[in-house]
Amino acid sequence: MEGRMQVFAGTSHPALVADIMTELNAPLGRAVVSTWKNGETRVKLDENVRGSDVFVIQSLCDPVNHNIMELLLIIDALRRASADRITAVIPYFGYARQEKKTTGREPISAKLVANLIVTAGAHRVLAIDLHAPAIEGFFDIPVDHLRATPLLARRYGREHQGPIVAVSPDAGGVTRAEDFRARVGGSLAIISKQRPDADATEVIEMVGDVDGKTSVIIDDMISTASTLAVAADLLTDRGAQAVHAAATHGVFAGEAIERILSSSISKVYVTDTIPFPHDELGDRLEVVTVAPLLAEAMMRIHKDLSVSALFT
């Protein structure tokens, strides 16, 4: 891309933004992103962006609706200020679990959020581990979908020697767990589950041998941790020597922390796509940064280089 590269950000995750800018060795674009006294979001760009290749970093975590609105207004401001290309960098995509109708008279919220981002004026999206591959198709613009499994596997492999059992907590996560297993070594186990309601998990059966072995539950996110807790109980009952967990997004909603602390899970690996305002997990929590991955992807997009090379 011929235009200069500029980066702006919302207020959802300043620590990650700072780390990305350190990796890029560049200053963050100057802008006012705040809230008016009446509760409305205020955005004002303090730099000329005409003809620039602009990236907007915003993780759509809690408060989700507020962070979405910030992202939309920043994109709209950039479009109206004649930015040449706008890339929405979304480490964590909110509403990703609402990518389909599970009962009648429900919205497909992930599709609506995608429509809003496109309508606001984004030309492309850079995201990490969308909950469902179908979400890529919700956007009528290019989507660069990065995977965090290589980062998690690399970190885990450095700290834990010997074969492990990579456990997929459901049939939909088998590919992710197999990727982790192939990078770390060991075998694969699959848990079959169903959800009686949105935040409850019921295990049906498990395929694979975990007796006397270290089991690592691989998932894309830890939300309420109900899946983790149920899976950990099953693995312990089947004779697992130790139970660990590795997930891209640490949402930790509701009673997630309490569930993990009262479970047999001794180690939890997550990335920093979502900020961590708490330290209740103490030594059990290991955070792997995605800043170098996102910075490299942003630079490759700017220079019109392949992003697929980052998937290896």
Give residue-wise pLDDT tens across range 241-292.
999 999 999 999 999 999 999 999 999 999 999 998 668 888 999 999 999 9
Q: How far apart are CA 150 and CA 221, in angstroms?
A: 15
Taking the C-alpha atoms of 175, 177, 179 and 180 in order, what is their torsion angle to the nearest 10 degrees?
A: 170
Task: Reply yes or no on whether 193 is catalytic.
Answer: yes
Helix 291-302 and helix 14-24, axial crossing angle in degrees, nearest 10: 50
Do 107 and 167 share a domain, yes or no?
no
Same domain? 122 vs 25: yes
Same structural domain for residues 138 and 156? no
- The DSSP code for 39 is S
What pLDDT digit, counting tens, does each position of 127-158 carry?
Answer: 999 998 899 999 999 999 999 999 999 999 99
pLDDT digit string, tens, across residues 189-235: 999 866 656 555 565 688 999 999 999 999 999 999 988 998 999 99
Does residue 171 sit in the same domain as residue 300?
no
Given this model, what pLDDT does residue 276 score? 84
Contact between residue 31 and residue 47 where contact means Cβ atoms under 8 Å apart: yes
159 and 280 inside one domain? yes
Burial class (CB in 10 A: 0-12, 13-18, 19+), 97: middle
- Average pLDDT of the segment spanning 9-20: 98
User: What is the predicted pLDDT for the residue at 163?
Assistant: 83
CA separation (Å) from 189 to 131, 167, 213, 215?
20, 5, 12, 9
Of 24-28, 92-96, 198-202, which gets the smallest average pLDDT? 198-202
Number of domains in the chain: 2
On whether both 29 and 120 belong to a single domain, the answer is yes
Average pLDDT over residues 82-105: 95
Q: Tell me, what CATH number does 165's domain have?
A: 3.40.50.2020
Do residues 59 and 30 share a domain?
yes
Token digits of residue 165 = 């059992």
Is pLDDT above 70 for 86? yes
The average pLDDT across 292-301 equals 98
Q: Are residues 28 and 78 in the same domain?
A: yes
Q: Indicate which residue of 111, 193, 213, 267 is catalytic.
A: 193
Note the pLDDT tens digit of each residue in 34-64: 999 999 999 999 999 999 999 999 999 999 9
| pLDDT average, residue stretch 81-99 | 97
Q: What pLDDT does 90 receive?
A: 98
Residue 152 has a CB neighbour count (10 Å cut-off) of 25
Q: Does position 93 have pLDDT exceeding 60, yes or no? A: yes
- Cβ atoms 57, 9 nearer than 8 A: yes
Asked whether residue 191 falls in the same domain as residue 245, the answer is yes
Residue 205 confidence (pLDDT): 82
* 214 shares a domain with 174: yes
Parent domain of 66:
5-147+291-311
- Same domain? For 131 and 168 the reply is no
Summarize pLDDT for 146-196 with one digit per residue, the tens.
999 999 999 999 999 878 999 999 888 999 999 999 999 999 999 986 665
Residue 62, pLDDT score: 95
Q: What is the pLDDT of residue 257?
A: 94
Residue 123 confidence (pLDDT): 98
- Residue 56: left (phi > 0), alpha (psi -120 to 50), or beta? beta
Residues 301 and 225 in one domain: no
